[in-house]
Chains A and B, each alone.
Chain A
Amino acid sequence: MEVQPTVFYIIAIVAIIAVMLILINRKLVKFDPLSKPKGIVLVVMMAAEMVDKMVKEKTDDKAAKFLTPYILTVAVYIFLSNIAGLLAFESPTSNYSVTLTLAAITCFLIEYYSIKANGIKSYMKSLAEPMAPFIIMNLISKASTLLSLSLRLFGNITAGTVLMGVIYQLFAKVSAMIPLFTNFNFFGVLVTPVLHFYFDLFSGAMQAYIFITLTLSFIGKELPKEQ
């Protein structure tokens, strides 16, 4: 069996996250709760607060207790995977297996909360609504959640990667026309940073945000309403 190179990039990203967590933890332990937070402590606090608020808004308090750490983990992982192109990595999220796994976890959580809220009996009944033959439609609509969640992330990141590759090739050809710089991608260096900013940083942050927002609103839909 051949090991895909993405596996090594995933391990590298997980290692980066682990090292970051250890370093941030060291800072947080030393942090005095009465003083003003600054630097990395402030960033971590703002991120945690934002995710906490988002999860509490979309779901209830009981589910939020489990979901907040998961959502923050997924957000950090997807964001770092999306911007891995900046570290000359191949983005793990441009591999369909990775995004399919992430979407499968989301779908599993949706079904889990749906069963937990309604009980297994009425969950089975809801599959065959409004009539028994509609079971096929309902299953397709569940599968389409999985498909659209995974393909959205995969498509966006792959499109960015492919476009950057095409642009680098184009500017390599343009630079080859300049007599002195035949082997040096002169225009590429000038033009691509802006595009990296858009395709890697902006698009990556956006897609991570969209993924967690969609996950939360799909799960929040299944939770029981208490009014």
Chain B
Amino acid sequence: METGIIALAAALAVAGGAIVGVYEAKVAIAAVEAIGKNPDASSKIQGMAIIGAAIAETSAIYGLLIAFLIIFILGA
């Protein structure tokens, strides 16, 4: 019973990653469109897109860390 609730809590903590995945894909779409419009600036756009995606990814990783904490500390 208790293990099940801990597993559920961990799953909920990483569920936020789904939204991050959608919007990170939007970053990729925007980058591809921008490169299509302006191929000369591709190296600059690439760097910006990667930074944007990396910063957006942080929230997903926080969720993942909290899931780890829940599993390894509460579940132990």
User: Are A152 and B54 closer than 8 Å at their CB atoms?
Assistant: yes
- Which listed residue (A152, A162, A209, A217) contacts B58, Cβ 8 A? A152
> 1/0 per residue A146-178: CB within 8 Å of B?
001001101110110010000000000000000
User: A158 to B71, alpha carbons, bound, how many Å?
Assistant: 14
> 1/0 per residue B49-70: CB within 8 Å of A?
0110011011001101100100
Which residues of chain A are within 8 angstroms of B68 by Cβ–Cβ distance? 158, 162
Which residues of chain B are within 8 angstroms of A155 by Cβ–Cβ distance? 61-62, 64-65
User: A156 to B17, alpha carbons, bound, how many Å?
Assistant: 13
Number of interface residues of A (CB under 8 A): 14
User: Are B64 and A210 closer than 8 Å at their CB atoms?
Assistant: no
> Which residues of B (27-68) have their CB < 8 Å from a CB of A?
47, 50-51, 54-55, 57-58, 61-62, 64-65, 68
Which residues of chain B are within 8 angstroms of A151 by Cβ–Cβ distance? 58, 61-62, 65
User: Are A148 and B51 closer than 8 Å at their CB atoms?
Assistant: no
User: Are B51 and A213 closer than 8 Å at their CB atoms?
Assistant: yes
Number of interface residues of B (CB under 8 A): 12
> 1/0 per residue A80-93: CB within 8 Å of B?
00000000000000
User: Are A159 and B51 closer than 8 Å at their CB atoms?
Assistant: no
User: Are B61 and A156 closer than 8 Å at their CB atoms?
Assistant: yes
Q: Is the interface of A mostly helix, strand, loop or mixed?
A: helix
Q: B54's closest neighbor in chain A, by CB? A: A210
User: Are A209 and B61 closer than 8 Å at their CB atoms?
Assistant: no
Min CB gap B30→A, angstroms: 18
Tell me whether A137 is interfacial, beta carbon within 8 Å.
Answer: no
Q: B59's closest neighbor in chain A, by CB? A: A148
Which residues of chain B are within 8 angstroms of A148 by Cβ–Cβ distance? 55, 58
Tell me whether A214 is interfacial, beta carbon within 8 Å.
Answer: yes
User: A202 to B59, alpha carbons, bound, how many Å?
Assistant: 21
For the A-B complex with A148-B58, A151-B61, A154-B65 known, give 15 more contacts whose Cβ atoms are closer than 8 Å.
A151-B62, A152-B57, A152-B58, A152-B61, A155-B61, A155-B62, A155-B64, A156-B61, A159-B61, A209-B50, A210-B54, A213-B47, A214-B51, A214-B54, A217-B51
User: What is A's interface to B at a CB cutoff of 8 Å?
Assistant: 148, 151-152, 154-156, 158-159, 162, 209-210, 213-214, 217
User: What is B's interface to A at a CB cutoff of 8 Å?
Assistant: 47, 50-51, 54-55, 57-58, 61-62, 64-65, 68
